[in-house]
Amino acid sequence: MKACFIGLGYIGLPTAIIAAKHGVDILGVDINPQIVEMTNAGQLHFIEPGMEDMLKEVVKNGKLRAATKPEVCDAYFVVVPTPFKGNHEPDVSYVEAATRSALPLLKEGDLFVIESTSPVGTTEAMAAIIYAERPELKGKLHIAYCPERVLPGNVIYELVHNDRVIGGIDEASTDKAMEFYAHFVTGKLHRTNSRTAEMCKLTENSSRDVQIAFANELSMICDKAGINVWHLIELANKHPRVNILQPGCGVGGHCIAVDPYFITAAFPEQAKIIAAARSINNYKADWCVEKVKNAILKFELDHGRKPVVAMMGLAFKPNIDDLRESPAVKIAEEVVADCHGAAVLVVEPNVAEHKEFKLTDYSEAYKQADIVAMLTAHNQFKTLPYDESKDILDFCGIYKK
Ligand code: SAJ
């Protein structure tokens, strides 16, 4: 069997590599020639533990090859980004472009799967585009939606072990897609229809966003009430049916901070909690900015000089180098732009250079700072002893107890 993966990003490339490792002949397709070149040279274009060795192996044994255009295969997988437009409306133009690139190559019996996070109804809409252009294939293709679920940083394990939800536009399509994923998934494969599978992905990430919003709301209430939120959550979680997540400086990344909008854009009247969670998590970053600015003003009043401020961490979550949609970056930008003349040191130990900020070593910044804003709970920061002479704004629970 020969399969074509369209989109060699954080999800498409690892899935293609794992499928190749399990015996499927893979053509990986990306419009970016640099990614194609790197992939064919066995070089991973992003950081993911263990993945590059596996890529080298499947390139070397001829199981995986990359190109800028699709070729005739037996199965096609669309794994391209679905960003949102200015008004938070989902942008499915990449999914449509990928679908159109495969369209002329499709033949009877082929499997066509969308993995990209997509608004409800996208798979049916792509099927309609395909059948409008290739009416002779109507009812002869297998078209399905199967969302990815892996956590960046743990991709090799999760791609194989996580359960998958598979929804075809008809029963035969679901069967055919289930057959494909059985090549490499040892988790359970759950069958449904394409609309439910699309909504399931959006539901998973919205659920996490809502739960994080609850923790963030609690953190702002506790700040007013003079209660340590970390300790409070630990105690509440001793209840057998309570499991509160951790507050932070907001929600970042390209999944949880994005996917809920695909529901709120389509169902604005019904999606009340989901919309509220988005605004609470967005507001949490603004709240952190205000906290830092107020600390700067207070320091100046108390000490009669401008403080040194350390902004600790830019990544959107701990121990990674990914800065996309990161609330920490937004907070650092806003503090630097309006810091009342304070010296602001920006720290991100997992990144060598940043286009906007001059980065400072984390222990050096901590040593020099009068005010420390903990933005990302990197392991390195947990090694810094709590210094009571500094004003430490611990937004991410470095010093929980
Ligand atoms: N966060 C908190 N408090 C928490 C947990 C997370 O503030 O208790 C923040 C993080 O700091 C980060 C954001 O949430 O800013 C998102 O991080 P994450 O680790 O929750 O998730 P992602 O975005 O790396 O990956 C998610 C995962 N979805 C779920 O856990 C439901 C992953 O399984 C999905 O495959 C991925 O989105 C995706 O691609 O959709």
Mean pLDDT for each consecutive 10-residue tract of the chain (401 residues)?
96 97 97 98 91 97 98 98 91 98 98 97 98 97 96 92 98 98 96 98 98 98 97 98 98 94 97 98 98 98 98 94 94 96 97 95 98 97 97 96 64
Q: Is 188 a catalytic residue?
A: no
Tell me what pLDDT residue 401 has: 64
CA-152 nearest atom, ligand 1: 24
Tell me what pLDDT residue 38 has: 98
Give CA–CA dist 62/26, Å, rounded: 9
Strand order in the sheet with 75-78: 64-67, 25-29, 2-6, 75-78, 111-114, 142-145, 164-168, 189-193
> What's the pTM?
0.94
Tell me if 212 CB under 6 Å of ligand 1: yes
Tell me if 237 CB under 6 Å of ligand 1: no
Short-list 1, 252, 242, 251, CA closest to 110:
1
Classify residue 175 by its DSSP letter: H
Here the tokens at position 111 are 């499997």
Closest residue to atom 34 of ligand 1, CA basis? 149
Confirm if 215 and 233 have CB atoms less than 8 A apart: yes
Beta bridge partners of 90: 84
Distance 141 CA to ligand 1 centre (A): 35
Confirm if 28 and 52 have CB atoms less than 8 A apart: no
Tell me what pLDDT residue 47 has: 80
For tokens 């263990």, the residue is 50
Cβ contacts of 86 within 8 Å, gap of 6 or more: none
Q: Is 330 a catalytic residue?
A: no
Tell me what pLDDT residue 400 has: 83
Confirm if 115 and 15 have CB atoms less than 8 A apart: yes
- Is the sign of the CA dihedral 300, 303, 309, 310 positive or negative? negative
For tokens 């919309």, the residue is 275
Angle at 204 between CA 287 and CA 237, to 5 degrees: 65
Tell me if 172 CB under 6 Å of ligand 1: no
Residue by residue, DSSP assigns 207-239 as HHHHHHHHHHHHHHHHHHHT--HHHHHHHHTTS
Give the pairing of strands 164-168 and 142-145: antiparallel
* Beta-carbon-side half-sphere exposure of residue 284 (alpha carbons within 13 Å): 31
Mutate which of 48, 158, 208 for ligand 1? The one with the most ligand atoms within 8 Å of its CB, which is 208
